[in-house]
Amino acid sequence: MKLNDSCKYCEVAQLCLPLSVNALPHSAFDEIVSRRIEMEKGSTVFNLGNTFTSFYAVKHGIFKIFIITEDGREQIESFYYPGEFIGFDAVDSGYYRGDLQALTDSCVCEIPYASFIELCNSVPSLQEHLIKLMSQRIGQNHCLRLNTKSIEKIASFLINFTSRMDRFKPNQFNYHFPMSRAEIGDHLGLTAETVTRTFTILRNKQIIECSGKTLTIHNLRALQKLSFVV
Amino acid sequence: MKLNDSCKYCEVAQLCLPLSVNALPHSAFDEIVSRRIEMEKGSTVFNLGNTFTSFYAVKHGIFKIFIITEDGREQIESFYYPGEFIGFDAVDSGYYRGDLQALTDSCVCEIPYASFIELCNSVPSLQEHLIKLMSQRIGQNHCLRLNTKSIEKIASFLINFTSRMDRFKPNQFNYHFPMSRAEIGDHLGLTAETVTRTFTILRNKQIIECSGKTLTIHNLRALQKLSFVV
DNA sequence: CGTGCAATTGATCTAACTCAACCAACGTGG
DNA sequence: CCACGTTGGTTGAGTTAGATCAATTGCACG
């Protein structure tokens, strides 16, 4: 493993492996990270039904987990951003519940579940950190579900996106926003056309700017007023 | 505390406090359950914004957590059935994210978070149980979210309901089903009328029977075919 | 036995879907 | 360098599932 790959120099380590465990040397984490995987855009880390063995933490890039339904639609369970853990929903059943795919050239750290749990047993603050992360995930799901109209869904999705991107890199003005209209729709239960139209409305209202793969939020307050419970 | 109230004689203890911790005497749990609260239909255990202090476990009855939106609609985040834990989403933020209300005369056990976590630290299998429960909750949310059409939503809701009720009391034919059409709608993002109409469709197809507060599933297979990823 | 709430059913209305055309960006190969 | 196909985004027209509004029935409860 290259030195500058280690948790010690990782810019998202404070998010994924928390401040609260500053007591531990970073090397304790480097030991449980079994490998860091460089991913090309479009390649998958695991697939639906694979046996659950590890969490993955996003080092850089953006990922999605999706399933293909019988009638051929792609359903995106969730997107994952830098510093975030992947695989919480697989612990209980013991297998991954979709394909994990990189939206851009990306890198994930593989964290074998068994070693992680073992470390949790000896480090209570790490255990609590895990529980908080899972708690946060549960709360986020609820928030997104409560918005029903298309403009509410898009607004809360954008707020969710920017707040999660801000966590690892504050004070951004422009965001790299690689997901397609179709992917956003497949995540929110809308068609790509409806996503486009809603973006157009938000653009005309000077609330956002979205060209190519770049997103700019001009009026966060207005977005918040369009959605519930941030 | 009355003897027959204790975890030892609780019919849902195997669900809420798991088989996996058989090593511990039940009294260890009785000690961390600070009180068992008998609730009348309609009364609330905690309210939106209250400081998070405890998980609650449903001993008997059915609960909902809901918020009232600015425009006066009731949004039901989730229902909770016997043997289930309540409050996972409150750990991270430190406050409860809605009102917890009993749908019927019910009983919950209050489990202070601090004592529970402390016990987790000394009992690894309990820690793992908690993580599995949270994992399960995350997976459930995803499943429900992936259904978009009203009949898919209702079908997956009914499957989810019956499978969760079956866990603590297997081989049921009829289910006590106290939630109103409006509440189901407020949970799934549908109107009460649409819920009624969808129930009528399912009844006419001989898939379910639903009169008063009683639900009967005649054709589970058909329900499963109507929804995704159970 | 009335009162009130929940469920049902019917008649519109509308937001989002579907289908389709068109455009812009990009990559490839001649 | 340009012609070409491919892919994703945008826009328009028509359709439809579910919302809304309204009336009616049924049931629980004092």
Spatial separation of the C-alpha atoms in residues B126 and B42, rounded to whole Å:
32
Q: Looking at the predicted structure, is the pLDDT value of residue B120 above 70?
A: yes
* Per-residue pLDDT, A179: 96
A84 CA, C19 C1': separation in Å? Answer: 39
What does the pLDDT average to over B179-191? 96
CB contact under 8 A, B91 and A131: yes
Spatial separation of the C-alpha atoms in residues B97 and A143, rounded to whole Å:
10
Residues B43-67 have pLDDT tens digits of 999 999 999 999 999 999 999 999 9
Q: Residue A74: enclosing H or E segment and its boundaries?
A: strand A74-80
Mutate to test the interface with A, among B52, B145, B153 (most CBs of A within 10 A): B145
* Per-residue pLDDT, A2: 52
Which among A69, A120, A128 has the least Cβ separation from residue B228? A69
If DSSP codes are grouped into helix, strand and coil, which group holds residue B106?
Answer: strand
- Among all residues of chain A, which has the CA nearest to that of B90? A135
Q: Who has greater pLDDT, B198 or B4?
A: B198
* Per-residue pLDDT, A63: 97
Q: Which bases on strand D have an atom closer than 7 Å to a protein beta carbon?
A: 8-13, 17-22, 27-28
Are A7 and A33 in contact by the 8 Å Cβ rule? The answer is: yes
pLDDT band at B111 (very low <50, low <70, confident <90, very high): very high
Spatial separation of the C-alpha atoms in residues A228 and A122, rounded to whole Å:
39
User: Which chain B residues in 200-219 sit with Cβ < 7 A of strand D?
Assistant: 212
Residue A213 beta carbon within 7 A of nucleic strand C: no
Least confident of A1-10, B168-177, B184-193, B215-224: A1-10
Residue B227 beta carbon within 7 A of nucleic strand D: no
Q: Who has greater pLDDT, A146 or B177?
A: B177
Are B66 and B101 in contact by the 8 Å Cβ rule? The answer is: yes
Contact partners, residue A219, CB within 8 Å, separation at least 6:
A205, A206, A207, A208
Q: Residue B52: its chain A contacts at CB < 8 A?
A: none
Q: Residue B146: its chain A contacts at CB < 8 A?
A: 67, 69, 75, 77
- Which backbone phi and psi does A106 adopt, to 5 degrees? -145, 175
Q: Residue A120: its chain B contacts at CB < 8 A?
A: 127
How many Cβ pairs within 8 Å bridge chains A and B?
A: 109
Q: Which nucleotide is nearest to A210 (CA to C1')?
A: D9
* Per-residue pLDDT, B122: 85
Residues B35-45 have pLDDT tens digits of 899 999 999 99
Spell out the per-residue pLDDT of chain A, length 230, in tens: 454 577 878 888 888 876 545 666 666 777 788 889 999 999 999 999 999 999 999 999 999 999 998 888 899 999 999 999 999 999 999 999 999 999 999 999 999 999 999 989 888 888 999 999 999 999 988 878 888 899 999 999 999 999 999 998 888 889 999 999 999 999 999 999 999 999 999 999 999 999 888 999 999 999 999 987 65
- Chain A residues within 8 A (CB-CB) of chain B? 67, 69, 75, 77-78, 88-93, 97, 117, 120-121, 124, 127-128, 130-139, 141-142, 144-146, 148, 189, 228-229
User: Which chain B residues in 126-165 sit with Cβ < 7 A of strand D?
Assistant: 149-151
Spatial separation of the C-alpha atoms in residues A206 and A197, rounded to whole Å:
14
Which among A130, A146, A189 has the least Cβ separation from residue B131? A130
Contact partners, residue B184, CB within 8 Å, separation at least 6:
B154, B157, B190, B192, B195
Residue A139 beta carbon within 7 A of nucleic strand C: no
Spatial separation of the C-alpha atoms in residues A71 and A77, rounded to whole Å:
17
CB contact under 8 A, B138 and A135: no
Residue A193 beta carbon within 7 A of nucleic strand D: yes
Q: How would you class B33 by CB atoms within 10 Å of its CB: exposed for 0-12, middle for 13-18, buried for 19 or more? A: buried
Spatial separation of the C-alpha atoms in residues B129 and A102, rounded to whole Å:
31
Residue B72 beta carbon within 7 A of nucleic strand D: no
A29 CA, D22 C1': separation in Å? Answer: 64
Q: Residue B230: its chain A contacts at CB < 8 A?
A: none
